[in-house]
Amino acid sequence: SADSGTSRVWFPADSLGAGAFGAALWSNAGTASPGDLAETARRTAVQLGAKGDMDRDFGSTAFATIDGKGGAVACAVTMNGAFGSGHVAEGAGVVLAASP
């Protein structure tokens, strides 16, 4: 898990691989701009042993979250590439999807 002081994030176990990647990406993404997130994800995967020439189309992601009052939401999205187009709608904070 990671604790920022105002929120806490839990990851799968490191033994699953996804937990190690999620925790490392969470740490590395904190200093990346929205347009640099795809490259940050690639570098993080390479640091953990992935091939440097891996396919850049990660395709989709999903998450679930629960607030302190028990409210929950789950979301799965496909953006035709890691973190969509790397562009954010100005003032909205919405990451735009890449064209298929």
Tell me the pLDDT tens digit for each residue of 33-72: 878 888 888 888 888 888 877 665 556 677 788 888 888 8
pTM of the predicted protein model: 0.52
Other beta carbons less than 10 A from residue 83's beta carbon: 24
Nearest to 57 by CA among 41, 80, 78: 80
Q: Tell me the pLDDT band of 79, cut-offs 50, 70 and 90.
A: low
The Cα 23–Cα 74 span in angstroms is 19
Are the CB atoms for 43 and 52 separated by under 8 Å?
no
